[in-house]
Amino acid sequence: MSTQIPRHAFYFTKTFISAASRHGIKEGLKKASAGANPVLMSIEAASAVLGAIDSYLKLRQARAHRDGLKALIPQEEKRLELERSALAQDIDLARKEMEQAAKVRQVVGRMTLQCVQLTRHCLDELSLIRSSDLPDARSFDSAFERLMEADQGLRRSVEYFNTSVN
């Protein structure tokens, strides 16, 4: 098996030790768990399973040589190699999906920031218009209400996106 410690496991352990020294073991575990990324931990666990499969293949080959069962090796190797390649494909797919989700979050974040800036700009403009003499106060009030409804719709959609992605 691999002697390399996964990066996320190292981060979790470091966070747990730090939080446990300040808040106790129970609270430290809660705080460390809150910062853990389950997707990364799953991918690292699957990678560890790949390492275990490789170790198992080596062990099986050694046993077959010892017992004189060389005919079993190719069959087991083929079966496990197929399972290993399927697992590797699943890991690659999970990584790609995670990257795609991050890209979507970035685009939504930029879009949200632009919408917030435009809403603030519109509110400032409407405030300036309202403070001056208005020939048609009703039109101003209806425009202001539409802007506030659009702002609320944006907030609801961003909230829905945040809850559905996580």
Give 99-151 pLDDT, tens digit per residue: 888 888 888 878 887 887 888 888 787 777 777 766 677 777 787 888 888 88
Give me the chain's average pLDDT, please.
Answer: 76
Kindly report the pTM of this predicted structure: 0.43
CB-count exposure of residue 19 (10 Å: 0-12, 13-18, 19+): buried
Give me the pLDDT at residue 138, please: 74
Q: How far apart are CA 50 and CA 59, in angstroms?
A: 14
